A and B are shown apart, each in its own frame.
Chain A
Amino acid sequence: MFRYNFIYELKLLLRSRWIQLLSILLLLLFGFSTINGKSKVVKREVDISVAKQEVEETDKAMLKLLDSVEQGLEVSVPSWTIPSSPMAVGNYHPRVAAMDPQPMAFISTGQADLFTHYIKPTVSGDDFALNFTEMTSPVQLLFGSFDLAFVIVYLLPLLIIAFTYNVLSSEKEQGSLRLLASQPISLRKWVFQKLMLRFFWLSLLVTLSLVVVILVAGVQPLQWSGILILLGLALCYMLFWFALAFLVNIFVDSSAKNAVSLIMLWVVFVLLMPSVLNQVGNTLYPIPSRTLMINEMREHKAEATKRQDEILDNFLRDHPEYAINDSTQSRNFYHRYMASQKVVKEELKPIVDAYETQLQKQQSWAQKLQWISPTIVVQESLSQLAGTSTADYGNYRKQVMAFAGQWRAYLTTFLYNNTPFSQKDYLSLPQFNYQAAKSNSVFTSMLVLLLIAILLIGFGFAVQGKTQQKGILSN
């Protein structure tokens, strides 16, 4: 029976042009979204490399200056920018702390449109002032991006719905159900076989078109494991939707009702659940107010400023160049400046830390909520695979903060030792290297999806609906 089913199904799909239509649609959707994703990644890479190149060029100029200074020559730049001063290096020659795209970055925009991908921390100024958000038009953030994740999470289920909603009901409507009922196979098993065959064909089409699109777009080495995981996720998610279609096919009766039910499910899983969960999360665990945090910081800053003034003439605090250029000022301005900055930093740290902890709690709660909805699980996993999830940007931020500290510490050592920065020190300047976090939750996600799908199918076999009780042929 299975063999008959297989051959009949293939013929049917080919003759009704479903396979042809789906291939074209999938190629178009995957193609367009991959182009979008790739162009974003390329822009990101170009931005970073331009920034790095600029640093390289100013470094060359800096080394030349250093050379002149070391040879005792006169230089024609403002005195506070001469790189023999370690603070001049720290402020005017910052390094690029860049978050290079991961090999699979093109599959999901995730939070990539919201956050910046490179930052140049300097020695003066405080870390809280580092702005990690990117300059993007908010309309773009609101609408989101047409990326591969969107196609997989939102559109693929709709294709599945269109492909499966009338497997059983069309037999009834065409009058071939009686014929089918006379076959030596239970109807549920028959529907299951038929859906699994469709799942097989759709999987094949999805795999082929994805591979074709990715090959055309160009694959980096080491990317194949990522592509395999991507396919695995997509297939597990598809299986979930086929399982839902299986239930609807055996429990609901007419084609139109099937379609409506499946679409309702789609609306619930893809549109409503995420937004409801998001709202629940925000209501139960509100995001701490930034406005109130600013208030608190301002009050503390006022106090810190007073203490700062004891260390430093308040005017000079804001204008180091004055202290350095003005011969009447003592030369060790930066010693005191760095000390006073530390005062502010220590004063504000508890507030920032308190805020961050509260935020962390809120976010980890949101993270737990995702397991309720397969849609969110897939979206999150795809973003993780692409290295564009919230966690990745949090990780990057942490690394940049650490690097900023390292940069400051390295150069203040020169400052406090009163040793000038020289050409030979150039090579030992701290460099930033982004370390991507490894996460295994992608495999957990696949397992969870598989489990849900199996449970749903099991439910379909175990429970008798109204139609089964009455008998499928009765009207």
Chain B
Amino acid sequence: MILKTFFKESKELLRDGRVRAAFAIVIILLGIAVWISARQYQNTNEQYLVAEAAEREVWDNQGEKNPHSASHYGTYAFKPKYPLSLMDQGVDKYMGASIFLESHKRNEAQFSAAADQTGLARFGDLTPDFILLFIIPLLIILLGYNSFTKEREMGTLTLLKSQGVRPWKWAVGKWLSLFFPIFMVTAILFLIAGILLSNLQDFGVFKWGSLLAMFIVYVGYYIIFINIILFISAKVEKSGIALVLSLSVWILACLAAPKAASNLAETKHPFPTRQEFAANISKDKQEGLNGHNPWSKESKLLEQKVLAEHGVDSIHQLPFNFDGYRMQKGEEHEAEIYFKHYNYLKEQYAQQSDVYKGLAVISPYLPTRFLSMAIAQTDYGTHWDFSDAAEEYRIATQKFLNDDFAQNSTYGDWSYQADSDFWKKLPQFEYEPPQLGSIIRSNASSIWILGVWIVLSFSIFLLTTKTI
């Protein structure tokens, strides 16, 4: 019976011109989206490689220079794009892709694409994730809204009942006939993306495992939608009403809930404004050791401590340049201040995440969105990870430069210049994004929420079909 229903429903769908048209539209859109994203992805990565090489060259060829001057001249860390960003662009558009690394200051990633675009960009882009998250659920609604209501309207329900059909078998057949085409479209898309990505050379490490994980997340998302849509269709008398209700669920889950969640999250756990953030940091900085202020109380204390440690009574007698030493100590102190303030931002965001998770109760879209971005390495978490790695590299670079200054010059000798070969000794900035295993561990709660949604929606759907 399950199979019979499945074949009958599939045939019916195939014969419906609107369904064929809808499928064709979705597939064409997906094709365009994948093609455009692949081009952009390649473009960005080429630019990234050029920029990284050029920046390193600028750094290497500084010539003779005081190491501390070089630290102010600074260098850039560029964020690469990862292969799966082809599927889900996540928040990449809203984050800068370059961080300026200089002494005394932790800079944020600059120049987000969204800030350079017009208001039009805020509507969203035609990318695979847009189609996967918004359009395919709509397709499910279109295919399934009248799955049960049509039997009522055409009067075939009585006929079916007289056949002694087990309702759950019948329902599973209908469920399968809706699931199968959606599953196929998604599978084909992911397969094409996988082939495309494994053929792109030189760009990041593409792993089929991550793609599969993402595929499973989306299939789960569609299962939830299929359950909800069929549940509505089974409960409601008329096709029109079923359609309007299904659509309301879609709007609530995909459009309204995320926006409302973002408003709630902001009111409850706001980020400081950029100016406030900067002011708080400079306030903290004033109180502590500043590598450039030998006249402050903290500097004098440090001086006494170091003198006592080395058993000498003047900083001129120290075996290293005290200016460089103080600079490094100041740097370490400032790094701690930045660590504290950026941690505050992270905490605020963690609390915002809880708000999003809370609203996942009414919207399966939310956990799917977060999981998909995380697996694609385009979420806020990955950005934090990158920015932390850049900060670590910045601190190491400062130590490298300050140590050279302290070791190779004498106190008060600000005219010291390092060799022109010296810069090449600084290790390159290398960044490894988090791997799938750790991504899954850190997003376990979203996976749980999605799982609960699947189980609950499925059982409610199956239980209600008993009473049709």
Residues of A within 8 A of B (CB): 32, 36, 39-40, 43, 47, 51, 54, 78, 110-111, 114-120, 131-146, 150, 154-155, 158, 162, 165-166, 255-257, 259-260, 263, 267, 271-272, 274-279, 281-283, 286-287, 289-292, 294-295, 298-299, 301-302, 305, 314-315, 317-319, 321-322, 325, 359, 363, 366-367, 369-370, 376, 379-380, 383, 389-390
Contact = CB atoms under 8 A, between A and B. Distances in A.
Given A51-B275, A140-B265, A322-B292, A256 B66 contact: no
Task: Count chain A CB atoms within 10 A of each CB in B112, B121, B124, B276 and give the residue with the most.
Answer: B121
Enumerate the 8 nearest inter-chain pairs by beta-carbon distance, A residue then B residue, closest first: A274-B123, A138-B91, A138-B94, A290-B111, A143-B258, A146-B259, A143-B262, A256-B239
Interface-centre pick from A143, A162, A302 (highest chain B CB count, 10 A): A143
Given A120-B275, A267-B138, A256 B414 contact: no
Contacts of B267: 39
Contact of A78 (B39, B134, B295): B295
A318 B401 CA distance: 16
A141 B90 CA distance: 11
A316 B142 CA distance: 69
A277 B32 CA distance: 13
Contacts of A322: 292
Contacts of B73: 301, 305
B244 A131 contact: no
A281 B118 CA distance: 10
Given A275-B130, A291-B78, A292-B47, A146 B263 contact: yes
Given A133-B274, A255-B238, A322-B292, 18 more contacts: A120-B275, A133-B115, A135-B274, A140-B266, A143-B258, A145-B263, A146-B256, A271-B134, A274-B123, A282-B117, A291-B51, A291-B97, A298-B54, A302-B62, A314-B66, A317-B72, A379-B119, A383-B119
B48 A274 contact: no
B195 interface: no
Interface string B94-134: 11011000000000101111111111111111100010001
A163 to B, nearest CB: 10
Contacts, number: 228
Given A158-B251, A291-B51, A145 B262 contact: yes
A255 B274 contact: no
B292 A131 contact: no
A264 to B, nearest CB: 8
A143 B261 CA distance: 8
A434 B55 CA distance: 38
A141 B114 contact: yes
Contact of B125 (A278, A366, A369, A390): A278
Given A47-B276, A279-B36, A294-B51, A390 B119 contact: yes
Given A140-B265, A140-B266, A298 B120 contact: no
Given A51-B275, A78-B295, A135-B271, A263 B120 contact: no
A203 B270 CA distance: 36
A379 B238 CA distance: 34
B429 interface: no
A317 B70 CA distance: 12
A321 B95 contact: no
B118 A390 contact: yes
B243 interface: yes
Contacts of B118: 363, 366-367, 390
5 contacts: A131-B108, A145-B262, A290-B110, A290-B111, A292-B51
Given A135-B277, A294-B98, A325-B295, A260 B18 contact: yes
B273 A158 contact: no
B260 interface: yes
Contact of B47 (A117, A275, A291, A376): A291
Contacts of A286: 43
B324 to A, nearest CB: 12
Contact of A256 (B43, B240, B276, B352): B240
A145 B259 contact: yes
A277 to B, nearest CB: 7
B244 A376 contact: no
Contact of B259 (A114, A115, A150): A150
A164 to B, nearest CB: 12
A276 B126 contact: yes
Contact of B247 (A115, A158, A292): A158
B58 interface: yes
Contacts of B247: 158, 263
Contact of A298 (B76, B94, B113): B76
Contacts of A32: 260
B50 interface: yes
Interface string B342-386: 000100110010001000000000000000000000001001000
Contacts of A43: 270
Given A158-B251, A162-B244, A277 B120 contact: yes
B433 interface: no
A138 B95 contact: yes
B394 interface: no
B68 interface: yes
B272 interface: yes
A111 B262 contact: no
B186 interface: no
B273 A134 contact: yes
Interface in B174-204: none
B314 interface: no
B380 to A, nearest CB: 6
Contacts of B239: 255-256
A114 B295 contact: no
A259 B48 contact: no
A135 B273 contact: yes
Nearest to B352: A137
Contacts of B301: none
